[in-house]
Structure 1
Amino acid sequence: MTISLEQAQTIVAAGLAEGRKLGLKPISIAVLDPGGHLVAFAREDGSSNLRPQIATAKASGALALGVNSRVIGEMAIDRPTFINAAAGLNAAGIVPAAGGVLIRDAGGKLIGAVGVTGDLSDNDELCALAGIAAAGLSA
């Protein structure tokens, strides 16, 4: 099973709504399937031009290493050479900062990942988690 377009669009819409509710800077959200393919994306007005790539890299890095991008950020402190090397191997890159979250179905099976960028990384992650919850899925 993989994330559906409807689930991905729900994650995007709810993540954007959470960003507005929190009064964040303009955010961008990418939802990928387990193979790292883009399923849904949105970029708020006023987002800078590199945000699509950053959002995708947060989600893709989580898929590539099997952990949320917050954990990748922690790994980068202890093992920077490894994270730099892995980023070069992953076509979409890896961003070692919170905001990339793995998505699981009710049975715990990995069905995709979401990446959010635009504000502080902790706030990006809050939007990702809100989107996942709104779709009835788990992080």
Structure 2
Amino acid sequence: MSRKLTLAAAEKMLDAAKREAQKIGHPMNIAVVDAGGHLVAFARMDGSIFASVDISQRKAYTAISLKLQTRLLGPLTQPGAPLFGIERNSGGLVSFAGGIPLTDEQGEFVGAIGVSAGSVEQDQQVAEAGAAAFSG
């Protein structure tokens, strides 16, 4: 049976991501979207920066839309690279770390997690913790 991205699964991911954010001492905004990029669950931790509310959701949307981690987009979107300008010309895609697509046991894309409010390394670390809660 294929694992679905249910609200319960999304909340489990939020909990894992929040624990990781608390562990590193940095409050985050965490978004989980379904396969269509629609918000399933969201958490804005106390003290997280307001600007990152939208960015976390756009990271999740980018990850599921392109079916790859947002950290991999950086080199592809630099001047002279094949995807230069994509984030400006495609509805606000995000080309830095913190967005991870989610797959089921058959490798089908079922959603994504996006995290924002820390450094790109912190965002990625917290997103990985959330994604692991779905995979695990």
Instruction: Tell me whether the two structures share a fold, i.e. TM-score over 0.5.
Output: yes
The TM tier, using the shorter chain, reads: 0.7 to 0.9
Q: The residue matched to 2:112 in structure 1 has which SS?
A: strand
Alignment of structure 1 residues 16-31 onto 2, 5 Å = 16-23=18-25, 25-31=26-32
Q: List alignment gaps of at least 5 residues for structure 2.
A: none
For residue 69 of structure 1, what is the aligned residue in structure 2? 70
Q: CA RMSD in A?
A: 2.0
Q: The residue matched to 1:32 in structure 2 has which SS?
A: strand
**C-alpha displacement of 1:63:** 1.8
Whole-Å Cα distance in 2 between the matches of residues 100 and 47 of structure 1? 17
For residue 51 of structure 1, what is the aligned residue in structure 2? 52
Which runs of 4 or more aligned residues in structure 1 lie more than 4 Å from their structure 2 counterparts after TM superposition? 78-81
For normalisation by structure 1, the TM-score amounts to: 0.86
Whole-Å Cα distance in 2 between the matches of residues 56 and 97 of structure 1? 13
Aligned length: 134
Q: The residue matched to 1:8 in structure 2 has which SS?
A: helix
Q: The residue matched to 1:115 in structure 2 has which SS?
A: strand
**C-alpha displacement of 1:124:** 1.0
Contact 2:87/2:95 (<8 A) preserved: no
For residue 60 of structure 1, what is the aligned residue in structure 2? 61
**C-alpha displacement of 1:88:** 3.0
Selected match of 1:10 from 9, 12, 15: 12
CA shift digits 1:90-120 (9 cap, x unpaired): 3xx2111110000111222111000001111
Q: List alignment gaps of at least 5 residues for structure 1.
A: none
